[in-house]
Amino acid sequence: MSVAGLRRAARESVSGLPREFWWLWTSTLVNRLGGFVATFMALYLTLDRGYSASYAGLVASLHGLGGVISSLGAGVMTDRLGRRPTLLVAQASTAVSVALLGFVRDPLAIAAVAFLVGMASNASRPAVQAMMADIVRPEDRIRAFSLNYWAINLGFAISSMAAGFIAEFSYLAGFLIEAGMTLVCAIVVFVKLPESRPAKVTGTAAEAEPAISLGTVLRDGRFMGVVGLSFLIAVIFQQGSVGLPVAMGEAGFTPADYGMAIAVNGVLIVVLQIPVTRFIEHRDPKRLLVVSSLLAGYGFGLTAFAGSVGVFALTVCVWTLAEIVNAPTQTGLVVRLSPVHGRGRYQGMYTMSWAVASLVAPVMSGLVIDRYGAEWLWGLCAVIGTVAAVGYGALMRRLPAEETVSPETPAPAKPEVSAA
């Protein structure tokens, strides 16, 4: 492709999205650029503080448990209080709790604050996704979610590299830098992002509009099916950070070997996310989710035959392509199945599926590898991917049409007071 063609493709990838989206995108990027703590937490606890690996694992689990609990609560807050207040509370709380984590020394205090960090940091996700769905036209949502996912991975790639250098200088500096950058995100939200929650219908039309509660979400069979399938896919993708390093270590490979193999994941997402999204943007989501599920499952399944770093990297390429296709498509599907005034709760339930997977995947991979061997883990991933593909094919036979909007992006609705 010529330089002019590349410029035109880049321009088309980012054109037509509202200004509010780009401020939200900027907030996401800044937040991920400062995401140091998750990268070096285990090293901080074991090397700097002298705690055992078991204690480090417990702290990580409590961090994940906090995310599970906050997913649903943040979803309710997003619908009742609004997207902007939820984002402000989540990011300000994250900044305070991360800074506090750098100063506490007692084991019980560290575990408790890590739990709070998990709750606060995960609480912003339903609000971000709901706000994005509010301000972006339906036909542009896949592209918007893809650009946001690209920002997440670009920020994570840079922060992961920076975390090592910062940790050599001072672990406390890493905590404080993350707290500061998260506070910057809160300031961006406060200054640049108006509330986007759609105004509720009043009058006779309001009587026909059913109230949305968590019970409504749980009774939505099709959506809960998508949540269950999302959980299966998340369990597969989690193996890149929990099962793969353990399996490579047991096979005699070094941490540097694992680092080289897994680095392919971040590089490919940064390089391919936008062009691949341009290719899939207007294609059938059912096919995309079926194909991505199979690629994820069998991409990890191929790991059973890997005997060198190059082959491990090749398997990473396969399931990374699945990740690139799955992430924006699945997020777009969640929005498509969500009632307008229940987007926060629906996004919270979807977010929870990934949080629960982050708790289940480490236990599953450890048990399977210890009892049966890594080959069985990779075979199980292939089976789970196949089940997910069949599930998506069955659930999406009669997918509801997306709502239609005028070509002009509607102005964000004024905040409204909702009953707690």
* 119-177 pLDDT, tens digit each: 998 888 889 988 998 999 888 888 888 888 888 888 877 877 777 678 778 888 889 99
Buried b / exposed e across 214-229, counting CB within 10 Å, b at 16+?
beebeebeebebbbeb
Mean pLDDT of the chain: 83
Query: Domains in the chain, please, with CATH?
Result: 17-197 (1.20.1250.20), 212-399 (1.20.1250.20)
Lowest-pLDDT choice from 50-54, 179-183, 226-230: 50-54
pLDDT for 10 equals 59
| Count of alpha carbons within 13 angstroms of residue 80, beta-carbon side | 13
Q: For the whole model, what pTM was predicted?
A: 0.78
Rounded CA-CA distance 313/288 in Å is 23
* Termini Cα distance of the chain: 55
Q: What confidence tier does 39 reach under pLDDT thresholds 50, 70, 90? A: low
- DSSP H or E stretch at residue 256: helix 255-280
Q: What confidence tier does 213 reach under pLDDT thresholds 50, 70, 90? A: confident
* 86-116 pLDDT, tens digit each: 999 999 999 999 999 999 999 999 999 999 9
Burial group, residue 280, by CB count within 10 angstroms (0-12, 13-18, 19+) = buried
* 67-84 pLDDT, tens digit each: 888 888 888 899 888 999
How much is the average pLDDT of 396-410? 52
Rounded CA-CA distance 97/222 in Å is 37
Q: Which is more confident, 119 or 52? A: 119
Name, of 59-73, 309-323, 400-414, the range with top average pLDDT: 309-323
Q: What is the DSSP letter of 408?
A: S
State yes or no: pLDDT of 297 exceeds 70: yes
**Does residue 213 contact residue 269 with C-beta atoms inside 8 Å?**
no
How much is the average pLDDT of 257-275? 84
Could you tell me which of 89, 113, 86 has the C-alpha nearest to residue 99?
113
